[in-house]
């Protein structure tokens, strides 16, 4: 089921093809049935509500017979629904030799948003043999197959590998999605391990 913002104007499209070629000059119609009361949308009505208890069809328009042959459209404006109903049954229908029927249910309402993943800050410090900060040393975080890695700068972006360098204190940090399995490498100290990011706000790599 397709879902759209409240009061949106949407395109109801129907493609009429035969043997892969678009057919021009057809006259399909759109039937829009409000499920809350069974009333039909009639775009030809003027003044007041355009929904009626009488069955109604709405002529669809050929979009572009030259560049987009076979594509027909009807634009439905949800603002015309004065009751602000949520669910509608739609039938896009062409009769005759090139008969087509496309049935669908559409909904209007708040769009669902993705929940941002919880992140864990993986951090650590690299020291040289004298116990001093090891500056500008390479640290690599590689994706393990079938997992997703995020830098924290742009959550949800899948990458193969992230490289960073230690700061003036020999430190580094990176935000990763909790529960992921990654490969962490610090070439200067011969560190190369596969680790699982814990369900915690932060963790020192030395503790994993």
pLDDT band at 162 (very low <50, low <70, confident <90, very high): confident
- Residue 177: the pLDDT is 87
- Residue 147: the pLDDT is 47
Burial of residue 9, with CB atoms counted within 10 A of its CB: 0-12 exposed, 13-18 middle, 19 or more buried:
exposed
Q: Which domains does the chain have, with CATH numbers?
A: 2-108 (2.60.40), 119-207 (2.60.40.10)
- Residue 160: the pLDDT is 62
Residues 154-166 have a mean pLDDT of 65
pLDDT band at 151 (very low <50, low <70, confident <90, very high): very low
For the segment 72-96, what is each residue's pLDDT rounded down to a tens digit?
999 999 988 877 778 999 999 999 8
Residues 157-162 have a mean pLDDT of 60
Q: Which residue has the tokens 């009061």?
A: 7
- Residue 145: the pLDDT is 62
How far apart CA 62 and CA 60 sit, in angstroms, is 7
pLDDT band at 180 (very low <50, low <70, confident <90, very high): confident
Q: What is the pTM of this model?
A: 0.55
- Residue 143: the pLDDT is 75
For the segment 85-142, what is each residue's pLDDT rounded down to a tens digit?
789 999 999 998 899 999 999 999 887 776 778 899 999 999 888 889 999 999 999 8
37-72 core/surface letters (b: 16 or more CB in 10 A; e: else): eebbbbbeeeeeebbeeeebbbebebeeeeeebbbb
The answer on pLDDT for 152 being more than 60 is: no
- Residue 81: the pLDDT is 81
Pairing of strands 68-77, 61-64: antiparallel
Cα first-last separation, the chain = 45
Residue 140 to residues 38, 39, 147, 189: CA-CA distances in angstroms? 60, 61, 16, 12
The answer on pLDDT for 204 being more than 90 is: yes
Residues 159-165 have a mean pLDDT of 77
For the segment 25-71, what is each residue's pLDDT rounded down to a tens digit?
999 999 999 999 999 999 999 888 899 999 999 999 999 999 899 99
């Amino acid at each position: 089921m397709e879902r759209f913002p409240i009061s949106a104007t949407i395109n109801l499209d129907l493609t009429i093809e035969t043997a892969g070629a678009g057919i021009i000059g057809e006259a399909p119609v759109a039937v829009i049935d409000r499920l809350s009361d069974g009333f039909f949308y009639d775009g030809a009505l003027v003044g007041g509500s355009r929904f009626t208890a009488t069955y109604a069809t709405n002529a669809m328009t050929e979009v572009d017979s030259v560049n987009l042959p076979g594509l027909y459209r009807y634009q439905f404006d949800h603002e015309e629904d004065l009751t602000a109903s949520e669910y509608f049954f739609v039938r896009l229908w062409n009769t005759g030799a090139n008969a087509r029927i496309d049935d669908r249910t559409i909904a209007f309402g708040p769009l669902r948003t993705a929940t941002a993943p919880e992140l864990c800050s993986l951090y650590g410090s690299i020291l040289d043999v004298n116990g001093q900060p090891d500056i500008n040393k390479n640290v690599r975080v590689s994706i393990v197959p079938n997992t997703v890695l995020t830098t924290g700068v742009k959550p949800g972006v899948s990458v193969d590998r992230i490289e960073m360098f230690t700061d003036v204190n020999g430190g580094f940090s990176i935000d990763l999605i909790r529960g992921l399995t990654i490969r962490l490498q610090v070439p200067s100290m011969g560190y190369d391990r596969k680790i699982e990011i814990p369900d915690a706000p932060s963790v020192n790599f030395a503790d994993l």
